[in-house]
Amino acid sequence: MKQGEVNWPYEFPGAHWIDSKEEEVLLDVLRNGSLFRYYGLNDAKYVNAFEEKAKTYYDVKYALGVNSGTGALITCMQALGVGPGSEVIVPSYMWVATIGAVVANNAIPVLCEVDESFCLDPNDLAKKITSKTKLIVPIHMSGCPCDMDAIMEIAKKHKIAVLEDCAQCNGGSYKGRKVGTIGDMGIFSLQLNKNMTSGEGGLIITNDEKLYYKAFALHDMGLIRVNGRLAVPEPYAINWGQGRRMSELCGAIASVQLDKLPAIINNMRNSKNRIKKMLSNVQGFKFRKLYDAAGDSGPFLIMILNSENQAISAANKMKTKGLHNVFRIADYGLHIYYNIPSLVNKVPLSPAGNPWNLSENSESVYTYQKGNCPKSDDLFAHSILLPIPSKLSLEQEKLAVEVIKESLRD
């Protein structure tokens, strides 16, 4: 490392906290000979334990471990009735999996602007509601909660379901309530980049019994389980299963990582707040808007600069000084709607052209090229995102601040 550079770790928040506890439970699963969550050579236990812990941690009635965040999204959308003829409102800043889940259910994604929180803009949301709107998906992007009061008010006015995508904000909260518990359903990802991880994996939470059993049947074999064995549910829940069950290996790690999540978040939030404080008197930028600063889970710092050229220059300088994983948000890959080739080109799921060419979707004609969300486009062009690793030293934080200050100088 050269003088004036910072040795900035890769993010992967939960991965930095892996220790002998994860090792012990993985070995226990292997020795137990029951890698499948419902049966094996001996009794399986870890996915059940993870779900029980999740119900307590998020304070919900129902929790369901699944194979991925993407699987959770697809399952929930189906449980909520999304299909041909449905429009689903998603923010312009997201991860491709959210829009992919809409398309996978043969529905049409409708883009909504983000505001300076980089989350769904309630003012634009109100304008995007149509008679076809089946679902609103607020995404608590880059670790911070959306304006859920305003979003829920609009949803309730129009009697539209809300699915909270909390993949990047696990453990975050909004006005004292954990994200994921405010809408009809909430999903989490446990992929390596997330606040807690099992490498892959996902979680669905809800307080609605019918939605839970629908999701259960969809994620498994189209039925429910009683004592681990398939059983026929009430007719409303019978469906076509998709084999999205969580394995015991993932459940074991997730169960341990959930215990560590409060500490992981506390570390990231404290690092982020110290960095922000040290930058508070620096000119030439402002921080993203926060609807609930106390509910910020802390994994990312977003800076809104005065111009696109300044953002490009500053991001490049930061990279050369050791902040290797900083991004100008416009260049942030599949997080930006116009960077998703399959969306821009309306790539169909099959040669039949679905969902775009389905007769049920004939009235839902939208385009997705850059320019469809001009307010968002402007924000993306002159904003920078810096991941906040979960085990930073005070020296690393101070060095990062010096690098940021130097990079912002004209």
CB 300, CB 193: distance < 8 Å: no
Q: Is the dihedral of CA 33, 70, 208, 240 positive or negative?
A: negative
Residue 91 CA to residue 18 CA, distance in Å, equals 33
Contacts of 330 (CB under 8 A, 6+ apart): 308, 311, 336, 377, 380, 381, 383
Where does 177-299 show beta strands of DSSP type E?
177-178, 185-189, 202-206, 224-226, 229-231, 285-287
Residue 237 CA to residue 254 CA, distance in Å, equals 27
Picking from 130, 122, 251, the residue whose alpha carbon sits closest to that of residue 196 is 251
DSSP character at residue 74: H
Q: Is 405 a catalytic residue?
A: no
Residue 96, classed as helix, strand or coil, is helix
**Rounded to 5°, angle at Cα 111 from 105 and 112:** 130
Residue 89 CA to residue 334 CA, distance in Å, equals 17
CA dihedral 321, 325, 328, 333 (to 10 degrees): 150
CA dihedral 212, 216, 219, 223 (to 10 degrees): -140
Cis peptide before 299 (omega within 30 of 0): no
**Of the residues 45, 128, 134, 194, which is catalytic?**
194
Residue 140 CA to residue 151 CA, distance in Å, equals 12
Q: Within 13 A of 46's CA, how many CA atoms are on the CB side?
A: 31
CB 269, CB 96: distance < 8 Å: no
Residue 98 CA to residue 107 CA, distance in Å, equals 12
* The pair of three-digit structure tokens given for residue 288, joined into one six-digit string: 């993203």
DSSP codes joined into one string, 4-56: T---PPP--TGGGG--HHHHHHHHHHHHHT--SSS-SSS---HHHHHHHHHHH
Residues marked active site are found at 194
